[in-house]
Chain A
Amino acid sequence: MTSRISSLFVVGALALALPGCAMWSGGSRQHQSSSVVQFLYPDKDQPFIVPSIPTLRLPLRVGVAFVPPGQHGYQSSSSFPEARKSELLRQIAGEFKALPFVQSIEVIPTTYLRPGGGFENLDQLRALMGIDVAVLIAYDQAQVTNDTAWTFAYWTIIGAYVVPAQKNDTHTLTEAVVYDIASRKLLFRAPGVSAIKGHATAVRNDEEMLADSARGFNEAALDLTTNLKSELELFKTRIKEAPDEVRIEHKPGYSGAGSLQGWFAAGALALLAGRFLRRSRR
């Protein structure tokens, strides 16, 4: 009889403990990325491409695209949905569209780029869409979830619902890399980063991780667009200081205009008004 009671107690204890064990994951890691290097230099044996001095013929025609994810590190259940990618592409296109030396900007669908397509793929886009410069967007997101000391509360089952004992870290990097296609020259790059820390209950952890992932991509995208502006200004300064680095030409057949800016108009107005008032007083 005593042994039967002992057996029941053990079975009951196991029944209570097992769900806790299932929730006590002990820590996990998720990773999703796309890489400009993997896209442009897919073959390790490929001889290194030596870029030549680029000649930018203004106004530029620019293409913006997401680098397709490689075979490694890609998750089909990506929390970086195509809609968000399109939104980011439009934001970046907007930054370039505002630049006076940019003639046009094309948002290139990801399907136009092959994984590991390299410069040959960019050459095809150049011929197909008539672009001079490609802005390639890549991303890398790592999410780590770890158990904290509070995970002992999972033994109570209720604890798994109410105690946020999972510690989550989400690190996101987005990167815009601007290449002159003809010369294979990297003109400049701009990063966007985000680091999100959070806690979640065992039951809601997956949901929280997905939310953190989406937030990470949003924050990194915003940071990227901000950095892109300053990197563009730095690039223009660099070209001015080191004109041998990049040659600037104008495409034949440009449109031109004179501009009488405000300071000139104000100066002329002040002088003529001053002279007019003197004459009127006499």
Chain B
Amino acid sequence: MNPAPGLRAAGWVLLPAFLLHLWPQAASALRFERDAIGAGEWWRLWSGHWVHFSAPHLFWDALVLGLAGTWLEHRRRGLLAWHLLATAPAVSLLLLGLEEDMRVYGGLSGLGVGAIVLLALTELVSDREHRAWWIALLALVAAKIGAEAATASPWFALEPGIRLSAWAHPAGALSGLLVFAALRLARSVRRTRPAPGPPDSASEVTVF
């Protein structure tokens, strides 16, 4: 297993987050802001996730998305990009609907949780020999969401004035699940279609 291409792709995905952390003026034009999105700045549905409120916030989010993204990209080239394209607006739209009082949101954690869920489900169906690892990974996500719900306290905040979003991680997990379901559906549709010509040579890794 050569993780280099996956690492490279994850690195490119995470680079903007680090740059935006160093350049707060640009971050303010890209972060998730309810009013701005309502006014038509729809790109914030995607870009808002790359804006972070502190260095530790960025570090942990980048670490998890980097790990899961590297593996996803190794599993199938372009899978990380598809995941981000689909999950980023999905999480943002869920947050717009579920947390009406939240004006500003930031962080890659929702996408990170989504990537973990997508990876675990993908591997669960293709790597049956080691299902326990992937079930454990899903259990970890469930434990994280459960712990947040159980210990939810209005006094807890990540940074002064910045609350822990109650729905970011459930929305991320749900988005990961939906992306997985959509890819499976696309795969089954492709399978039911008659092959137009001779079959492609089998790729080394076939997931969907």
Q: Please list the residues of chain A having a beta carbon within 8 angstroms of any beta carbon in chain B.
A: 58-59, 97-103, 236, 239-240, 248-262, 264-265, 267-269, 271-272, 274-276, 278-280
Contacts and interface: CB of A to CB of B under 8 A. Distances in A.
B104 to A, nearest CB: 4
Contact of A258 (B67, B68, B109): B109
A97 B107 CA distance: 23
Interface in B133-147: 133-134, 136-137, 140, 144
B198 to A, nearest CB: 32
A258 B101 contact: no
A131 B153 CA distance: 22
Contacts of A255: 53, 102-106, 161-163
Contacts of B157: 59, 100-101
B116 to A, nearest CB: 6
26 contacts: A100-B158, A100-B161, A101-B154, A101-B156, A250-B101, A252-B103, A253-B101, A254-B102, A255-B105, A255-B162, A256-B102, A256-B164, A257-B52, A257-B53, A257-B106, A257-B165, A258-B165, A258-B168, A259-B107, A259-B158, A259-B164, A260-B113, A264-B140, A269-B67, A276-B1, A280-B1
Of A97, A250, A262, A267, most B-chain CB atoms within 10 Å: A267
Contact of A256 (B64, B163, B172): B163
Interface in B20-69: 52-53, 57, 60-61, 63-64, 67-68
A257 B51 CA distance: 10
Contacts of A261: 60
Contacts of B160: 59, 97-100, 102-103
Contacts of B169: 258
A265 B134 CA distance: 15
A263 B101 CA distance: 29
A267 B119 CA distance: 15
In order of increasing CB-CB distance, the 6 nearest A-B pairs are: A100-B157, A258-B109, A258-B168, A256-B165, A255-B104, A253-B103
B204 interface: no
A142 B198 CA distance: 99
Given A103-B160, A257-B107, A276-B3, 16 more contacts: A58-B154, A99-B160, A100-B157, A100-B158, A100-B159, A101-B157, A102-B161, A236-B155, A251-B101, A254-B102, A254-B103, A258-B164, A261-B60, A269-B63, A274-B133, A278-B133
